[in-house]
Copies of this chain bind each other. A is one copy, B any other.
Amino acid sequence: MNIITISREFGSGGRELGKRLAEILDYDYYDREIITEIAKRHNVDEDYVEHTLNNHVWQTYTLSFHHSFMSPIYINAPDVNLLREQRLVIEEIANNKKNCIIVGRNADVLLHDKNPLNLFICADMDAKIKRCQERATGDEKSFTYKQFKKMIKRIDKNRARTRYLIADGEWGNRNSYHLIINTTGWDIEQLSIALAEFVKRWFAEQNEK
């Protein structure tokens, strides 16, 4: 069974890339499906699950004690329950024994023992904002460049923090992934085709061992 995890900067096109890659490779694809499953199990609204998982209520206290500083990070109890449920759902997906791609949700860390191929997708800020503008709905339609930039930074900061909760490796750092791809200048469809070839060769070699 081959598992690909995709971590990504907001607006980098990581989700579209994952979807296209899954189509080309004929892999199962998981992204929003995980939220749906958690919502069903907890009998709560999908939007609530998504919002809660993407916007943790972080409380940071800086304590001074004998001239040394400690900065513990607290996370609200409901968040912890949803994070736990998310982990269980992702583990179940892996136990399906079917080739799959999982976007986001720290699946790279959670499934470490299954030897997934871990990709990180990024892009230049201008490219990310352009993508956000193109797919904007509701209030976001009137967002300025600056507002999009602020939103992207906030979301990515939360992603980095969530990873920090469960793993040592830094979010977006080269040491935490097999491949980091900057999508700026790529047509995502073309990139998917190029990446599919790359991925096939990787798994061919790993499964030979």
Chain A residues at the B interface, C-beta cutoff of 8 Å: 120, 122, 124, 172-175, 177-182, 184-187, 190-191, 193-195, 197-198, 201-202, 205-206
> Besides A122-B175, A191-B201, A198-B198, 19 other CB < 8 A contacts?
A120-B174, A122-B174, A172-B174, A173-B174, A174-B180, A174-B182, A175-B182, A177-B180, A177-B182, A178-B185, A179-B179, A179-B180, A179-B182, A180-B180, A185-B205, A185-B206, A186-B205, A194-B197, A194-B201
Q: Knowing A179-B180, A187-B205 touch, does A195 contact B198 (C-beta < 8 A)? A: yes
Q: Is the CB of A202 within 8 A of B179?
A: no
Q: Which 4 A-B pairs have the closest CB atoms?
A: A180-B180, A194-B201, A194-B198, A197-B197
Copies in the complex: 2
Residue from A124, A178, A187 whose CB has the most chain B CB atoms within 10 Å: A178
Using CB atoms, name the residue of chain B closest to A193. Answer: B201
28 contacts between A and B (CB under 8 A): A120-B174, A122-B174, A122-B175, A124-B175, A172-B174, A173-B174, A174-B180, A175-B182, A177-B180, A178-B184, A178-B185, A179-B180, A179-B182, A180-B180, A185-B205, A185-B206, A186-B202, A186-B205, A187-B205, A190-B205, A191-B201, A193-B201, A194-B197, A194-B198, A194-B201, A194-B202, A195-B198, A197-B197
